[in-house]
């Protein structure tokens, strides 16, 4: 009903007189509406006059009567005169639920008649549209469904009238229109463009978040990421069968994701839970991707470091046994290297030494001796290539120097020399 400021004095006086008629109350009532009905019955028995010496219209009289019953019941409840099985509804949550349903109803009415005669006509038109579209009003605890529906229908008609969707011969009291603001002054010969904002996707999502947030009483202490918190909200909505407002032109599943994610984000900012992984809330998409990749790289480096640490410790434990087993081969390699240097650096004795080596190998002809000399050249070239590869490997960045690097190189030289003489 409209807020009639000029009737405040009448209501205040009527409340004082009505309270004097009621001496006792029952121990408890089902809800506040039942308490109002009890007060109404007492006033009817006492022939109570709500508007003393004032001629009120039927609409104003009904408003005063309902308001008096409500104020008397609330005062008695607050003073402990009786108990309520169903507590009184929270006005903030009730207003948010009504606004959410109003937004949903307005989407069902793309066009309105040019005018209505009075408020009841517009209200009945809204109720008829809701009935034809099988519209489900929000079930609000403590408020009867028909009463909640009347709140939604009345305020939907009022919102549409104030937005200029239709005209009314006798508008409701307190119904007013704000002057439309021109987007920019029209040039000569052009049409004046006027922007009228009539609801938006952002406000609809906010309305659903306001209805959903009080329903989630407890949150887990932490989540791995904000997406996990969003999934928690989604499961909660499925369990309680939460009704979404939706938006024309936006897929319902996408709309639900908007509600779930923003509910989780606001709860995180309010300190309801913490995030174990990198906090990407408030970042742009590119910043969030870089942050997640950096966090994954750090975890990978830590895992590799742990693995290398284990392998290094195993190698250090087996190093002593490996050196003792290869000790004889190491001495043998050094002897072969000295022999190679002697053959290369001493031309005077190279023939004798070559003969000795040939006798040891037992060549059958001079051609076999030439093959031996060619094998020496191949050995030297292979050693040079091997040394170059070793230098390249040594110049490359290595996490930790291999203690068997020199030993492996020497074993490689010995293997090549032995293969040449066998």
Q: Is position 185 within any domain?
A: no
Question: Whats the size of the chain, residue-wise?
Answer: 422
Say whether both 138 and 209 belong to one domain.
Answer: no
Number of domains in the chain: 5
pLDDT at 211: 85
Which of these three, 39, 61, 84, is where a domain ends?
Answer: 84
Residues 211, 100 contacting (CB under 8 angstroms):
yes
Q: Which pLDDT score is estimated for 363? A: 44
**Angle value at C-alpha 149, between 148 and 151, nearest 5 degrees:** 65
What is residue 176's predicted lDDT score, i.e. its pLDDT? 79
Q: Please say whether the beta carbons of 97 and 103 come within 8 A.
A: no
Last residue of a domain, one of 84, 106, 125: 84
Residue 263 confidence (pLDDT): 92
Structure tokens at 413: 């030289």
Closest CA to 210 of 99, 86, 135: 99
Residue 281: per-residue pLDDT: 52
CA atoms of 373 and 354, how far apart (whole Å):
9
Alpha carbon distance 68, 130 (integer Å) = 31
Q: How far apart are CA 233 and CA 262, in angstroms?
A: 10
Is there a single domain that holds both residue 332 and residue 401?
yes
- Angle in degrees, 0-180, between the axes of helices 91-108 and 201-212, rounded to the nearest 10: 140
Helix locations, 31-90, DSSP H: 32-45, 58-78
209 and 156 both lie in a single domain:
no
Does 413 lie in the same domain as 333?
A: yes
Query: Model's pTM, two decimal places?
Result: 0.38
Is residue 180 one of the residues assigned to a domain?
no
What would the two tokens of residue 267 be? 């709860």
Q: Does residue 339 share a domain with residue 368?
A: yes
pLDDT mean for each 10 residues of the chain (422 residues): 67 88 90 90 86 73 88 90 84 85 87 88 91 88 86 92 86 72 50 46 84 86 89 90 80 88 90 75 55 58 62 55 44 43 45 41 47 57 62 54 64 68 61
Residue 175 placed within a domain: no
CA of residue 389 relative to chain centroid, distance: 53
Domain assignment of residue 299, given as a range: 283-325
Give yes or no: residues 334 and 413 share one domain.
yes
Which two tokens mark 406? 């020199």
Same domain flag for 319 and 267: no
Residue 193 maps to a domain: no
Q: Please give the Cα distance from 406 to 391 (Å, whole number).
A: 12
Contact 151, 98 (CB under 8 A): yes
Does residue 176 fall inside a structural domain?
A: no
Q: Are residues 332 and 302 in the same domain?
A: no
Kindly state whether residues 299 and 249 are assigned to the same domain: no
Is residue 413 in a domain?
yes
Is residue 186, in this structure, part of any structural domain at all? no
Q: How many angstroms separate the Cα of 187 from the Cα of each of 190, 191, 192, 193, 269?
A: 5, 8, 8, 10, 47
**299 plus 347 within the same structural domain:** no
CA distance 421 to 403: 30
Q: Are residues 360 and 400 in the same domain?
A: yes
Query: Of the candidates 159, 68, 162, which has an alpha carbon nearest to the alpha carbon of residue 106?
Result: 159
Domain-located, residue 261: yes
Q: What is the separation of C-alpha 31 from the centre of its chain, rounded to a whole number of angstroms?
A: 39
Are 403 and 333 contained in the same domain?
yes
């Amino acid at each position: 009903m409209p807020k009639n400021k000029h009737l405040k004095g009448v209501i205040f006086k009527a409340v004082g007189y009505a309270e004097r008629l009621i001496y006792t109350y029952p121990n408890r009532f089902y809800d506040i509406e039942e308490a109002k009905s009890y007060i109404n019955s007492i006033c009817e028995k006492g022939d109570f006059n709500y508007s003393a010496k004032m001629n009120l219209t039927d609409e104003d009289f009904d408003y005063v009567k309902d308001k008096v019953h409500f104020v008397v019941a609330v005062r008695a409840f607050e003073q402990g005169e009786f108990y309520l099985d169903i507590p009184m509804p929270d006005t903030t949550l009730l207003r948010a639920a009504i606004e959410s349903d109003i937004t949903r109803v307005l989407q069902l009415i793309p066009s309105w008649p040019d005018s209505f005669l009075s408020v009841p006509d517009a209200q009945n038109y809204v109720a008829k549209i809701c009935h034809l579209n099988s519209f489900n009003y929000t079930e609000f605890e403590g408020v009867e469904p028909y009463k909640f529906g009347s709140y939604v229908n009345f305020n939907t008609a009022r919102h549409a009238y104030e937005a200029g969707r239709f005209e009314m011969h006798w508008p409701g009291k307190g119904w007013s229109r704000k002057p439309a603001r021109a987007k920019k002054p029209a040039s000569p010969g052009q049409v004046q463009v006027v922007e009228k904002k009539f609801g938006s996707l952002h406000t609809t999502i906010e309305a659903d978040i306001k209805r959903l947030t009080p329903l989630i009483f407890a949150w887990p202490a932490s989540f791995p990421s904000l997406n996990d918190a969003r999934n928690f909200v989604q499961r909660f909505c499925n369990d309680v069968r939460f009704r979404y407002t939706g938006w024309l032109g936006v897929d319902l599943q996408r709309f639900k994701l908007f509600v779930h994610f923003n509910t989780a984000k606001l709860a995180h900012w309010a300190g309801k839970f913490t995030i174990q992984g990198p906090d990407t809330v408030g970042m742009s998409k590119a910043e969030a991707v870089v942050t997640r990749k950096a966090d994954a790289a750090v975890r990978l480096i830590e895992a590799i470091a742990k693995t290398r640490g284990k392998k290094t410790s195993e190698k250090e434990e087996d190093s002593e046994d490996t050196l003792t087993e290869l000790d004889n081969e190491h001495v043998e390699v050094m002897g072969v290297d000295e022999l190679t240097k002697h053959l290369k650096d001493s031309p005077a004795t190279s023939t004798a030494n070559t003969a000795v080596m040939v006798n040891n190998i037992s060549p059958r002809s001079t051609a076999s001796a030439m093959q031996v000399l060619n094998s020496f050249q191949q050995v030297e070239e292979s050693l040079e290539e091997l040394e170059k590869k070793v230098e390249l490997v040594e110049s490359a960045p290595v996490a930790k120097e291999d203690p068997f690097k020199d030993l492996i190189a020497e074993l490689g030289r010995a293997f090549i020399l032995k293969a040449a003489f066998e």
